[in-house]
Chain A
């Protein structure tokens, strides 16, 4: 891993060759990945702490914070984890997928550093605005609630920085192709990152289109911002930003399978088509937040959700088959071919990169995916619109899905990019299980409470300061208590993650030539990840059984909600 000056077709760049993957690592890209990953973890720690405070306040027996502080930390929690943590990490993914994975160079690294500084300034300024206490408008910041101008300015600065990096991703791809870093089609992981980048462009443009006038309104330059126009355009950013996550973490599922098991996509064409469905239709799911708006027609709602969103769901279901299918195919090729599930039993469960990725895949599908389809159905949406079911759903996608996948990927980033051996490997082994179980509990119990009518974003479900009394059922209180317990478990998992990452970066043993990794990679992993090609097999009995279980669960839950709906609307 000595530094060398590699000669590309058109340009020179300083690089090293990774001893574990054989990939050429552009040092400029590596440094940018490190910076973005560190920033991501810092904001995860801040946002995660705020999330714990939210959960401890919504736990009726604890009810930790007063109302003003509750809405303040809820705003900070949303901004830090839904935007700052995730998008910083995604910038690292975009840079990795467009440079190192292609043996290519980072185009204009100084511009990327400028973008990174813009993002850091935006994220810090956003936190300052929230902590000053006059911008507790929550993540959605719906007018006529008004935050201080520097709250909106912070989001705009952050978004501009992210847009610059996304632009550089496209430049990296084009230059890599021009300079012959790869020929033909790009590898699937890079294609997934391309999908994330495309969705990011639309997301950021939507954000700019609504946050710039909202900033002007908060400065007194505009008399008002129409609340419904704001909602329509803002959700183009608010929900689509989570679709960047989906594309990015699905890419990481393929990447981790390749690096740890040597898994190649079952079919590049099929998986690329699934990502193509994301590019065309995934952003339209933003409409499911507006299904209860009387000002929007049923045609707009149904076309955007029940028609177009289902095409994106089809993409997810394809990935839901091809990701575990590629792992099964690889494991069978690796010699674990007995029976239906030896490939799964003999998987590297002690490797946190694998266990985190597997849990992310399963819980994203079963919890976040199924509940997302239910929420996106106009008729069923009225059952749980604006209840705690909605945060339950998106904790199922963003926390058990994306955050857990990003945490898992970190256990590869630390040795391969930071070149440090993971300290406390025993803690690292249990971390994905602890965090995954906690996050799954949060999602499920919030969805349960929402089904029982508990509103989202409400400080006090006992309505102790209300003029008119209302008592939620005992079941709702139980759900909120269990939500608090599982939030504590997830927080423990989060704390371990931050400690392992910080400890490894600062004090982890430096990896030198001939080092043997604590959590080893598959010998052919890098080739499987960085080259276009398919495994081309359909002998997947274990995956077929798992998929059948998923479909049965999906259908049952979907129709159970129609049963609930029939009890809500009685026709006699």
Chain B
């Protein structure tokens, strides 16, 4: 994800190097995608959902 990276697969070896767009760098980072793909559903679905269940008052 270094900003110094350049695109090597567009235009072939002879093409002029150009900065890799942010989205392409993001999509080329398996571990960052893994983090997003685990963190988002864990927060929005699991933690939020379990907190709602835990907050249900106990019957008296």
Chain B residues, CB < 8 A from A297: 52
Residue A226 interfacial (CB < 8 Å): yes
Complex Cα spacing A79 to B18, Å = 50
B-side interface size class: 20 to 34
Determine whether the beta carbon of B9 is less than 8 Å from that of A287.
no
Binding site for B on A (CB under 8 A): 170, 173-174, 183-186, 191, 194-195, 197-199, 201-202, 205-206, 209, 226, 228-229, 232-233, 236, 240, 269, 272-273, 276, 279-281, 283-284, 286-287, 290, 295-297, 300, 303-304, 308, 532
Q: Which residue of A lies closest to B9 (CB)?
A: A184
How far apart are the CA atoms of A197 and B30 in the complex, in Å? 10
Most buried by B among A185, A209, A286: A185
* Interface of chain A, main secondary structure: helix
Do B9 and A185 have beta carbons less than 8 Å apart?
Answer: yes
- Bound Cα distance A284, B42 (Å): 9
Complex CA distance for A170 and B36, rounded to whole angstroms: 15
A464 to chain B, nearest CB (A): 36
The residue from B10, B37, B40 contacting A201, defined by CB atoms under 8 A apart: B37
Inter-chain contact count A-B, CB under 8 Å? 97
* A183 & B9 in contact (Cβ 8 Å cutoff): yes
Q: List 23 A-B contacts (CB under 8 A).
A: A170-B34, A184-B7, A185-B9, A197-B34, A198-B33, A199-B37, A205-B38, A228-B53, A232-B46, A232-B49, A236-B46, A240-B41, A269-B24, A272-B27, A273-B27, A276-B27, A281-B40, A283-B40, A283-B45, A284-B41, A295-B53, A296-B52, A300-B49
The answer to whether B46 and A198 touch across the interface, beta carbons within 8 angstroms, is no
Query: Could you say which residues of chain A place their CB within 8 Å of the CB of B28?
Result: 184-186
Interface residues, chain B, CB within 8 Å of chain A? Answer: 7-10, 23-24, 27-28, 30-31, 33-34, 36-38, 40-42, 44-46, 48-50, 52-54, 56
Q: Is the CB of B45 within 8 A of A304?
A: yes
Check A233–B50 contact: CB distance below 8 A: yes
Which B residues lie within 8 Å of A280 (CB)? 36-37, 40
Which A-B residue pairs are the 5 nearest by beta carbons?
Answer: A184-B9, A198-B37, A283-B41, A232-B49, A279-B37
Q: Is B37 touching A287 in the complex (CB atoms < 8 A)? A: no
In the bound assembly, the distance between CA atoms of A275 and B28 in angstroms comes to: 12
Contact check: which of B36, B45, B53 meets A279 at CB < 8 Å?
B36
Cα distance, A303 to B41, chains bound together (Å): 11
